[in-house]
Amino acid sequence: MGKLRDIIDVIYRRKIDGFFAKVIHLFTKRRPLKNVILMESHDDFDCNGGAFYNYLIDHHYNEKYKIVWLLKNPVPKHLPPNVKGYRLHRPSFMKAYYRCVAKIFTADDYMTQKVRPDQKEFFLTHGGITFKNVKGFLVIQNHVDYVLSSSENYAPYVRENYSIPEKTELLYLGFPSNDLLFQDGPDELAKLGTGSFDKVFLWMPTFRESEVIHRNDSAAEQPLGIPLIETEETYRELNSFLQEKRALLIIKIHPIQDLSRVKIRDMSNIKVVTKDTVKALDLDLYRLMRSADACISDYSSATYQYLLLNRPIAFVLSDLDEYIRGFSVENYEDFLPGEKIYTMEDFTSFLGHVISGEDPYYNKRTELLDFLYKYKDGRACERLAEFMGL
């Protein structure tokens, strides 16, 4: 029964749409393409695809172009004028029609194959720079024309890690979601109701165990569901240290981390932010980054987004030897422009350095920033729209 169910699922999710597209293509293949942009993102309207979409709407590109979203979740009841939404994995004749006539395809995650060679397909990625090993997990398909990247220096790493075909062109335009780091907007700290603090730290551990993709990337035991902190007593001591220093620590749990494993809670000087918090308070991660005086991470690509702000960064490496995923470079620590944290003493030492205004890794951080990024501004969306000829 399981195998039959899988076959039916493939037919329903893929084959019917494919049949529709073949039929429609017979009638549209000799006609000019239409002003249609077909979009997809990691979890709908988010990441680079979402940031680029917001730019298009804010600059009224939907007056000229019909924007069609391929969605993993239910289609919103209200969308801007000239914007349509269809479920990515449900058959739809109109969805197949737009696939046949669209000029441009963008994807952060699932790459829908174009139908004609004169259509252009862009993979924007759902994050940005990463040195986590994703080879085999993420494979750029042959039908993709362009992949966003940050610089020629980063190109060899991303081409190997993403298994990018030689014929696929890398575009060094920057990543749309990073534009938000340079834009004024709502006070994200006020949304959290944090009060007033002298320093704000943002800790963004990458996921270790996912309830979404059913994978465990670390063999290390983590009793509280986060690295480094192993007991509630240590957690309370950290809060006391922050309280004494009038500092706030925001712990942003990765959206696909298994929350049943997370045993920490809000305290006077610690705020725990989950995907549920983000939705409930309408938080924007990039503006939250901008609100932080320093960032703590580990193997997360968010580190290299925060790097654009050129503020202190630290790396929690307490489970480095047990991190199963591994890295796409042998010299991983060369790409860590900040203090290395293996113990709680290291952790509080970093906090103390930032609080006292010390920044020992400024030069290394600036050097890596210049190496990894061709552009250090908030104009990636503008450059991408210009390249597309919109």
Q: DSSP per residue over 152-210, as a string?
A: TTTHHHHHHHTT--TTSEEEES--GGGGGGGS----HHHHHT----SEEEEE-PPPSEE
- Which pLDDT band holds residue 322 (cuts at 50, 70, 90)? low
pLDDT at 284 over 90: no
DSSP class of residue 259 equals G
Domain membership flag for residue 16: no
Residue 92 and residue 211 in one domain: no
pLDDT at 165 over 70: yes
Strands 209-210 and 215-216, by their bridges, are antiparallel
Residue 356 and residue 382 in one domain: no
Domain membership flag for residue 329: yes
Domain membership flag for residue 235: yes
Q: What's the CA gap between 281 and 101, in Å, rounded? A: 38
- Which pLDDT band holds residue 218 (cuts at 50, 70, 90)? very low
- Which pLDDT band holds residue 260 (cuts at 50, 70, 90)? low
Rounded to an integer, the average pLDDT of 292-320 is 89
Residue 166 and residue 208 in one domain: no
CB atoms within 10 A of CB 73: 11
Residue 360 and residue 305 in one domain: yes
Total domains in the fold of the chain: 2
Q: What pLDDT score does 6 carry?
A: 59
pLDDT digits (tens, 9 = 90+) for 357-387: 999 999 999 999 999 999 999 999 999 999 9
Residue 89 and residue 160 in one domain: yes
Q: Across the chain, which distance is largest between two alpha carbons, in Å?
A: 71
Rounded to an integer, the average pLDDT of 202-231 is 62
Q: What pLDDT score does 342 carry?
A: 92
Considering the chain, what percentage of its residues have pLDDT values greater than 70? 87
CB atoms within 10 A of CB 206: 22
Residue 91 and residue 122 in one domain: yes
For helices 93-101 and 16-28, what crossing angle results, to 10°? 50
Rounded to an integer, the average pLDDT of 308-317 is 95
Residue 190 and residue 335 in one domain: yes
Whole-number average pLDDT of the chain: 88
Q: What pLDDT score does 74 carry?
A: 94
Residue 222 and residue 190 in one domain: yes
pLDDT digits (tens, 9 = 90+) for 106-133: 999 999 999 999 999 999 998 889 887 8
CATH code for the domain in which residue 341 is found: 3.40.50.12580
Q: What pLDDT score does 209 carry?
A: 45
- Which pLDDT band holds residue 275 (cuts at 50, 70, 90)? confident
Residue 46 and residue 73 in one domain: yes
Q: What pLDDT score does 254 carry?
A: 72
pLDDT at 245 over 50: yes
Q: Which amino acid type is present at position 99?
A: R
CATH code for the domain in which residue 38 is found: 3.40.50.11820
